[in-house]
Amino acid sequence: MTPNAAGKHVCKITLYAVIVLELFWMFVETRGDFANGILFYLQAQMNIYVWAFFTLLFLSSYLLGKKMGAGLIKGHNYVKAAIIYGLLESVILVTYVVMMLISQRQWGNMLHTVPELALIIIVPVLLLWLVAASSLKQKMK
């Protein structure tokens, strides 16, 4: 397995996780009134900040996946690598969210939402990287 293939593999796993998460969010948004719920969901998704977040998510998944693949080829521990790269990607994403909140001048909301958002971002990203590292390790055998 090459580092490029590892980056593509991590991106593919990220895509699967995003699809499941988006379907869950759509289900939650449309549970009462489907017609209005789907419109609100689509309006929330057609936002430049959301598209930038997903672009940053997939770009960092690919680039960090390449680095993790190179490390796994050298024989590094896959759990340790997954935690390191998962936390690194989480820091990138949380930094983007904080910068977005600062640029929109939402100082009052920032103190209450950043810890919750950080937790909502860090836990799934770490799980995603653990699954990706485990499946990469299995492919290398």
| Cβ atoms 3, 66 nearer than 8 A | yes
> What tens digit of pLDDT does each residue of 69-122 get?
999 999 899 999 999 999 999 999 999 988 888 887 777 767 778 788 889 899
Q: What is the 3-state secondary structure (H, E, C) of 100-137?
A: HHHHCCCHHHHHHHHHHHHHHHHHHHHHHHHHHHHHHH
Which of 26, 88, 96 lies closest to 63 in space, CA to CA? 88
How many CA atoms, within 13 angstroms, populate the side-chain half-sphere of residue 10? 34
* All structural domains of the chain with their residue ranges: 3-140
Mean pLDDT, residues 5-26 taken together? 93
pTM of the predicted protein model: 0.87
